[in-house]
């Protein structure tokens, strides 16, 4: 099962939006400390609305603890690709059903420690005049591409198409 990780998220509204995304896609979500907000933050809760009971959330003290617990799984780090690291465009990447998708802080992305631990790097092509996408938007783009690639979207769409 694909899992999504926010490493040291800073903005509660973004984290709440990603939590809502994970609830919608039944995708486990991990927050790795330090967090730039309290889990009781009203902005975090508001962005996730009433979906919080449906979020499979685990909070980790640090990245090494998380990585050790997920040893043997492929870590796929999303990066803006502008720090000298070779990254594959997300739409060309061969996602696998057990991938763990890593996303970094809003202000600085993923640390060199996390990038070095990642097995592969992906990026979202940007051709406009922006440095990067909002982390919640990037997580949405990459997660749904990964779910599509491993066949999850076909499996959930079939029952929906029959009911129309």
Which H or E run includes 10? none
Check the annotation: does 104 bind a ligand: yes
φ and ψ of 3, to 5 deg: -130, 155
Q: What is the distance between the alpha carbons of residues 75 and 118, in angstroms, rounded to a whole number?
A: 5
81 labelled binding-site residue: no
Token representation of residue 148? 């599509």
CA distances from 157 to 19, 26, 154 (A): 22, 14, 5
In three-state secondary structure terms, 89 is strand
Q: Which residues are annotated as a binding site?
A: 104, 124, 132
Q: Which residues are annotated as a binding site for S-adenosyl-L-methionine?
A: 104, 124, 132
């Amino acid at each position: 099962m694909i899992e999504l990780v926010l490493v040291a998220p800073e903005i509660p509204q973004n984290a709440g939006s990603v939590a809502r995304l994970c609830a919608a896609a039944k995708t486990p979500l991990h927050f790795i400390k330090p967090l730039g907000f309290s889990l009781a933050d009203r902005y975090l809760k508001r962005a996730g609305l009433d979906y919080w009971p449906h979020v499979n959330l685990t909070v980790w003290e640090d990245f090494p603890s998380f990585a050790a617990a997920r040893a043997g799984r492929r870590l796929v780090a999303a990066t803006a690709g502008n720090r000298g690291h070779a990254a594959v465009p997300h739409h060309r990447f061969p996602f696998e059903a057990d991938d763990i998708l890593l996303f970094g802080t809003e202000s600085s992305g993923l640390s060199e420690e996390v990038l070095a631990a990642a097995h592969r790097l992906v990026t979202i092509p940007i051709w406009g005049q922006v440095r990067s996408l909002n982390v919640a938007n990037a997580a949405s783009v990459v997660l749904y591409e990964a779910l599509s690639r491993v066949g999850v979207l076909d499996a959930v769409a079939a029952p929906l198409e029959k009911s129309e």
